[in-house]
Structures are given as structure tokens and as C-alpha cells.
Amino acid sequence: VAANSTSVRMLLEACRQCESPKVIDAVGRLVSKYISLPPPNDTEPHTANFLKCLHEGIEKGLSSVNANQLTARVDRAQIHNAERILLTLAEKKPDVVDGYAQTLVKIVQKFTREHLSHMMQARQGQRQQEPVAEDVVDSTARVLVMGLKLLSPRLAALGDNRKGFLLAVSTLIERTTIIERQSGDTAGVLAEIARIVGVWVSDPAAGMKTQEKANFVHKMMNFEQLRGTGPYNTFLQMVYDLVSSPTPADPELVSKVQRAWMIGLRCRDPTMRKSFFTFFEGQIPKGLHSRLHHVIAKQEWDSIGDSYWLKHGVELTLNMVKSDDPLLGQGAGAQSRNATELKGKVSDSALAAFAKNDAFLNTAYAVTAGELLGPLCELLHYSNALTHVLWTSLFPVVWASLT
């Protein structure tokens, strides 16, 4: 390996302006294997020279950013490739990013502006301007995602650069209203933001204050309006993990994000929605009076007030029924005559009809309340009219039983 280090450096230099992500990923894997060699490689002169060459290439590539003009194609490629090599080095030594933090924050800020500009043009379909090429949109997103990946784990060590980085992330959340385009296996910008904010929120050592975490959670509630579900589901899973933990790392944060977990009750994903409702129901006493009082007077519904929230009240009421109770009471055996008692008294065709009827009754009487009410409650999320009918029918009966 040492004997070929010069050739490897020449290969890296040749790839510095390469625009193919696959090629750069392959170079990154090559660098990773090289720096992962066991001692004495760590102190070997060829390795020191190799690492020096890598850092020189990273500095040269990152310096291609220019805040005053649109990033050229070749500069965009050099920045991305430098970030990719730096990410490889950071896997072994995370603090290597700190020396480039100031430049990386400038890159994130610059490419945030360019990314949002591309999205706005695509959304408005501006006919007076030449449309942005798809490869430009994709490469801009790749540079931005790579910058987010590099800086987010080092938030606590960013110092004066911290404010600028968090402002860029906040801007992306607030202004992005549609999912950015994706190419191949390239991660979307919002998907990456959802991931890194999830790490910040769940990790006490991430370097974020409770109010900062709460602010990000509240901003990310806008993900509900996205056409795609990936970032939104990641966000909801983060919120659910936060509020459902029996020993939350930050109890104060849990109390600040109630509005966020309430929107999980109307999540488009049935499994996720059921998880939020199960948690929600677990906070409410089982008694009929307590549940009705909670629905009508105690629960604050403003956070989901723009949807038909009564469906959750109906479900809370219906869930008081024991799910394993038989739906029709007594079994079929008490309702039908034994076939041997009828033999010789009726025709064979009549016996067959009785047997078929008995089989049907056995099946019907085996049905439990939960097997009916479970699907019925699920249908509430697809029909406000059904919710209205059930509530207006159910409420008088429930109220009468209390009075």
C-alpha cells in the first residue's frame, strides 16, 4: 500500500473535479480502507503524506464556494467531492470537521439559498426564465445534504458558527413546502433534516437547549403538508419516541411538544396513527364519566382544531367496550336444535340447510366486539359523515346512562 501511495494521490487529484457521485463514493471507500489499516500505518511516513494530501485537497475543494455568485458546475463538483472525503475522515476522527466548520457553514448557507431558489422555480413553473437543469438541482441537494451530515454531529463544538448553521436548518424547514427532487440513492434534504433533528432531540449531549429543540419540533409540524410522507413519518416517529418514553431524557421538552404529538392522531399512516392513539388513550381514565368529561371539557383540541377531532372522542367512547366480549351474547348451540333430533322428521335437504345455518350461527356468535369496533373506528378517519352519525347516536345514550 505504501509503495503505491503516490499513485493513489494521483488518482485522488484526477477525481477531484469528477461529477459522478458513484465514482466519488468509490474513492471514499478507497480512502476509508487506507486510513483503517492497522499500526504501524498510523505513524508511517507515507500515511502522513497521504493524509496531508487529503487535507490539501479538501481545503482546495471547499474554497471553491463563492457567496456572491451562483456556483458553477465544476465548483459544485469540487465542493461535493471535498465534503465526501472529509466525511470519510470524520468516520474515524469526528473532530477533524471542526477545522473546516466555518467554511462548511458558509457552504450550507449558500447552498440553502440555491436549493430554495431551484425549488421555487420548479414550483412556480417560471416561463420567463430558463428552467434549472435536473442535474443541477440534484447536485445542489447533494452538496447541501453532505454539509448537513458533516456539521450536525459537531453542533456542540461549532462555537460562533453554531448560530449560522441552525439558522440555515431553520430556514430550510420553514420555506420548503414540497419535497425536493431526488436522484438515485441520494437522500432528500428534508429527510436528512428530519433525521438530524431527531438525533438532536433525543441526545442530551447534542448541544441543544430545551427551547431550541421545542422550536425545531414546532417548525417541523409543517411537514404534515408535504406531498411525500417520508420526512413527516420520520418526524412523527421522533415525537412518539420522545413522548412515549417511560423515562424521558428531557421531561420539560415533553411538556412543550403536546401540539406536535396531537397531530399524530390524524397521521395518514394507520400503524403510526394507532400508536399515537394508544398512547393518548393511556393518559385518560377508563370510566365513562371521566372519558366524556375529557372529550367535552378537559382536552385541548386546538392543535388539531382544523380537522374533525370528534372522531377521537367517538373512538375513546367505543373503546370502553371490552374487545373480547361476544358481540351477540349466547352461543349458537342455545339457538339451534340438534341434528339427531330432527333426523327422520325432515328431509335430507332440510337437514343440510339446518346444518349450514348452524355453522353460520356458530361463526356469528364467535365474533367479538373488538372485531367489529376495531374496523369501525378505523373507518372514522376516512368519513366525517360516519363520525357525525355515530356521535349523534352515541352521545344521547351515553349521557342518559350518566343521568
Alpha carbon 268 to chain centroid, angstroms: 13
Please state, in angstroms and rounded to a whole number, the distance separating the CA atoms of residues 351 and 342. 7
| Whole-number Å distance between alpha carbons of 272 and 265 | 8
Q: Are residues 119 and 171 in the same domain?
A: yes
Last residue of a domain, one of 283, 302, 326: 283
Same domain, yes or no, for 271 and 300? no
pLDDT of residue 183: 37
Instruction: Say yes or no: 242 and 295 in one domain.
Output: no
Tell me, yes or no, whether 147 and 197 share the same domain.
no
How do residues 250-261 score in pLDDT, each as one tens digit? 889 998 998 899
pLDDT at 333: 47
Neighbours of 147 (CB within 10 A): 29
Beta bridge mates, 326:
368
Same domain, 270 and 293: no
Single out the residue in 283, 301, 324 at which a domain terminates. Answer: 283
Quote the domain boundaries for residue 161.
1-186
Same domain, 206 and 170: no
How many CA atoms lie less than 13 Å away from 104 in the CB half-sphere?
29
Tell me: do 8 and 140 sit in the same domain. yes
What was the pLDDT predicted at 339?
Answer: 58
Report the 10 Å Cβ neighbour count for 265: 21
Report d(CA 241, CA 263) in Å as an integer.
15
Residues 195 and 330 in one domain: no
pLDDT digit string, tens, across residues 157-182: 999 999 999 999 999 998 875 544 44
Query: How many Å separate Cα 173 from the centre of its chain?
Result: 13
Tell me: do 180 and 44 sit in the same domain. Answer: yes
Of the residues 186, 212, 233, which one is the last residue of a structural domain?
A: 186
Q: Please tell me the predicted confidence (pLDDT) of residue 68.
A: 66
Burial of 244 (0-12, 13-18, 19+ CB in 10 A): middle
Q: Which residues of the chain have pLDDT under 70?
A: 1-3, 5, 38-43, 67-68, 122-132, 177-187, 329-344
Same domain, 144 and 35: yes
Verify that 150 and 228 share a domain, yes or no.
no
Note whether 169 and 251 are same-domain residues: no
Of the candidates 78, 76, 66, the residue with the CA atom closest to the CA atom of residue 12: 78
254, amino acid identity: V
Q: How many residues does the chain have?
A: 403
Domain count, the chain: 3
146, 80 in Cβ contact below 8 A? yes
Digit-coded pLDDT (tens) for 295-331? 998 888 988 888 999 999 999 999 988 888 887 765 5
